[in-house]
Amino acid sequence: MIRKGLVIAVILLIIGIAAAPTLDANITKNIKVKTTNNWIEEAKLLASDGEIYDEFGSNVAIDGKYAVIGAPKDDDNGNNAGGAYIYQRNGENWNQVEKLLASDGKEGDKFGDAVSINEDCIIIGARNDDDDIGDLAGSAYIYKHNGNNWTEEAKLIASDIDGGDKFGTSVDIYQDYAIIGAPGNDDNGSDSGSAYIFKRCGEKWIEMEKLLASDGGYDFNFGLSVAIERDTALIGAPHGYGATYVFRYNGANWFEETKLNASDGQVGDKFGWSVSLNNDYAVIGAIYDDDNGQNSGSAYIFNRGTLNWTEETKLLASDGDVDDVFGHSVSISGNYIIIGSPNDDDNGEYSGSAYVYRRNFSTWDEEKLLSSDGTAGDVFGDQVAIDGNYIIIAAREDDDIADNAGSAYIFKYPTDLSFVIEGGIGVRLSITNEDMIKSVGVDWEIQVYGGIFDLINKTADGIIDIESNEVAKVSSGIFIGLGLIDIKATVNENVKTAKGIELLIFSLIGTNQEL
């Protein structure tokens, strides 16, 4: 009987833990934070044709070797028509490769106020586009990489769009799905807001569904921030206490799964001002939280468990202060989160900063990032994005080119990669990422030469991402030959050489490999 009672007690305890809606707020705020120094400023990006008040950096996105930077006050298509710039990483250099303009752009559209990139697709919002429907109706544009250039694939407009909807205020894209916020939509009352899911079908993008908050109301601004990944979408509604809504796709429809609230939220915190989603974690900014002083700001981490979403941690800047608006922008990639604090004063009033947090079991290691040449008024950290070991941070009011022309900075976490040359069919490399962060855009090359009469001359190269603590294997591909061969392998800028023997298509590699 004692054993039976003990089993029942354990079962009840497990059920109680699973059903708990949130962690205690005092526990979440007192997570220990360590300070580390790992991220290095790699580049400062400026528009090649930047001009006064362009506000280059009003929104930023990064994925793999590409970064996208919005400049909604660019004047190429008319005053404040807007533009967006694409940068490509080549080694340690970031080069501007293209400038995007809406094919039908015109004065006041503010194309580039919202941007997102995933693999070979970019989405750009133009929240002020009237499209002959009404002022501030809004639109969004899809661009696709064709192997050489980025081309405009589609212009997206909500099926029931109306003036003042501001469709395109927020955008995100993941594979064949795009989400677009329209915080000015009036379905649940003036400025109650909505969001739309579009899906790519062949070469066309089709509106799948319009999403509304189940309890939406006047001035909710549902759709001010959005994020999408796999079958999950986050939509922020920062009115009042603020909230963020989770929608799931069940194979037929998108349904509201739950509503997330801050456990210690107060009226006016603006919880939901910014959102980001990765795997089963959501990060939500509350820019007017007062824990470190009035409008100092905070961010919350929620985790989706087996049964529900729970508030796991509340993040505060270790040196947060009045009006910093920490949480103005947030982004998560794996175990790393970056949070912008554009009104921080370390480099002068409103010079701005950003904070990187790394999950370390039950604690979070904090690193504060400042621009190397930051000055008052830059608002560095107004927008941020992270992908693996690369971060982009905007400073839309930087004055390097002209007043408020804007800029953006790339930061890199140098990952610890090791590699071994291996034989088999062709020559292979086993590349190991020994760090706790995904290594993005790893350049590799294999050169094989020699054999009888020096007939073997094979080169293969590529770019790959390697998850933390994982091994990636790449190959030269099949080649035919006989005799002694020399191998030169390059991973990023590290070179290793080896000797071997080629037996038709099979390579035998010596164990003596030199860096």
DSSP assignment of 277-300:
EETTEEEEEETT--BTBTT-BEEE
pLDDT the model gives residue 22: 39
pLDDT the model gives residue 32: 54
pLDDT the model gives residue 91: 84
Distance between CA atoms of residues 431 and 198, nearest Å: 38
- pLDDT tens readout for residues 342-357: 999 999 999 999 999 9
Q: Which CATH superfamily is domain 31-412 in?
A: Integrin alpha, N-terminal (2.130.10.130)
Distance between CA atoms of residues 171 and 414, nearest Å: 30
- pLDDT tens readout for residues 51-70: 999 999 999 999 999 999 99
Strand residue runs (E) in 361-491: 363-369, 384-387, 390-395, 407-412, 417-422, 424-425, 428-433, 439-450, 456-466, 471-475, 481-491
* CATH code, residues 417-509: 2.60.40.10
92, pLDDT greater than 70 = yes
- pLDDT tens readout for residues 136-165: 999 999 999 998 999 999 999 999 999 999
pLDDT the model gives residue 35: 55
* SS3 label, residue 17: helix
423, pLDDT greater than 70 = yes
In angstroms, the Cα distances linking 485 to 152, 315, 421, 510 are 47, 55, 13, 10
Q: What is the mean predicted confidence (pLDDT) over 404-431?
A: 94
245, pLDDT greater than 60 = yes
What is the pLDDT confidence band of residue 29, given thresholds at 50, 70 and 90? very low
94, pLDDT greater than 60 = yes
pLDDT the model gives residue 12: 35
Q: What is the mean predicted confidence (pLDDT) over 248-255?
A: 96
What is the pLDDT confidence band of residue 436, given thresholds at 50, 70 and 90? confident
What is the pLDDT confidence band of residue 34, given thresholds at 50, 70 and 90? low
Q: What's the mean per-residue pLDDT of the chain?
A: 91
- How many degrees, rounded to 5, is the angle at CA 379 between CA 378 and CA 385? 120
Q: What residue spans define the domains of the chain? A: 31-412, 417-509
Nearest to 91 by CA among 348, 385, 332, 410: 410
What is the pLDDT confidence band of residue 316, given thresholds at 50, 70 and 90? very high
Token readout for 510 is 């010596």
